[in-house]
């Protein structure tokens, strides 16, 4: 009786949460965690809620298996699958960090100022709630002029459904960008560090709010 009640309480919450196990490159879905560093919320699906936690980097599961490095052409579309419908309204943000030459991609720790923002979207000010939601896949485009080499690409979905208590759903994939140009974005931020709990983009009340959404973090550099 007790456990049935608990299950009934927990199931809807878990169903509303999600993680991002597969990449999508040239329309092809990878295996689970083939290129994405396995996240600590597999399988329970919950978010990071502390912006000062090291989990804000890649939400990695400790002792995760090694992930591979996927070759992706600069300028191409890059996607991730979601384990559940992304029911929480909130923005999508994409960051990249260059893995220093000669470093092992899988064991490289993205600490310090290494991240640049490549994309942000999802705000739909006229709608209620004022964000896209219920996606099963999310996409960005690898900057076409990016210097080739190994990168982590970090996706972040911020659930804003509980005012003042933002939820972060995060994944990092390991990619080798080929082609490209010579761009090396220089305005770099760290995770944790880039966000503060009081950022207007994290305290934004979504209900009945049709103001322009102030995305958290630095401006897009690509
Ligand atoms: C997302 O799905 C839920 C549940 O089906 C629905 O209530 C909601 O209106 C949907 N949101 C959007 C923006 O389509
Ligand atoms: C990325 O892939 C290309 C093409 O396979 C290869 O020549 C290059 O050495 C790889 N780069 C890195 C940093 O591994």
Cα–Cα distance measured from residue 81 to residue 210, given in angstroms and rounded to the nearest whole number: 29
What's the CA-to-centroid distance between 31 and ligand 2, angstroms?
A: 21
Cα–Cα distance measured from residue 12 to residue 119, given in angstroms and rounded to the nearest whole number: 30
Q: Does 9 have pLDDT greater than 90?
A: no
User: Which of the listed residues 133, 159, 160 should we mutate to test ligand 1's pocket, taking the one with most ligand atoms within 8 A of CB?
Assistant: 133
Nearest Cα residue to 152 out of 181, 114, 188, 185? 114
Dump pLDDT digits (tens) for 96-110.
Answer: 999 999 999 999 999
Q: Does 163 have pLDDT greater than 60?
A: yes
Q: What pTM value is reported for the model?
A: 0.93
DSSP 178: E
Cα–Cα distance measured from residue 8 to residue 24, given in angstroms and rounded to the nearest whole number: 34
């Amino acid at each position: 009786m007790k456990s049935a009640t608990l299950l009934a309480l927990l199931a809807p919450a878990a169903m509303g949460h999600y993680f991002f196990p597969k990449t999508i490159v040239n329309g092809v879905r990878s295996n689970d965690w083939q290129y994405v560093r396995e996240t600590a919320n597999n399988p329970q699906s919950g978010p990071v809620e502390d912006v000062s936690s090291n989990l804000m980097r890649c939400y990695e599961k400790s002792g995760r298996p090694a992930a591979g490095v996927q070759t992706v052409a600069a300028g191409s579309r890059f996607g991730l699958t979601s384990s559940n419908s992304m029911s929480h309204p909130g923005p999508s943000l994409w960051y990249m960090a260059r893995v220093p030459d000669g470093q092992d991609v899988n064991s490289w720790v993205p600490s310090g100022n290494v991240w640049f923002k490549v994309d942000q979207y999802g705000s739909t000010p006229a709608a209620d709630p004022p964000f896209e939601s219920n996606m099963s896949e999310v996409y960005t485009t690898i900057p076409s002029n990016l210097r080739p080499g190994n990168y982590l690409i970090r996706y972040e979905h911020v659930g804003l459904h509980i005012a003042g208590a933002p939820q972060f759903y995060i994944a990092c994939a390991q990619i080798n960008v080929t082609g490209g140009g010579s761009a090396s974005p220089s305005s770099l931020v760290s995770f944790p560090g880039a966000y503060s709990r009081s950022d207007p983009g994290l305290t934004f009340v979504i209900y009945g709010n049709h103001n322009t959404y102030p995305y958290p973090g630095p401006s897009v550099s690509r």
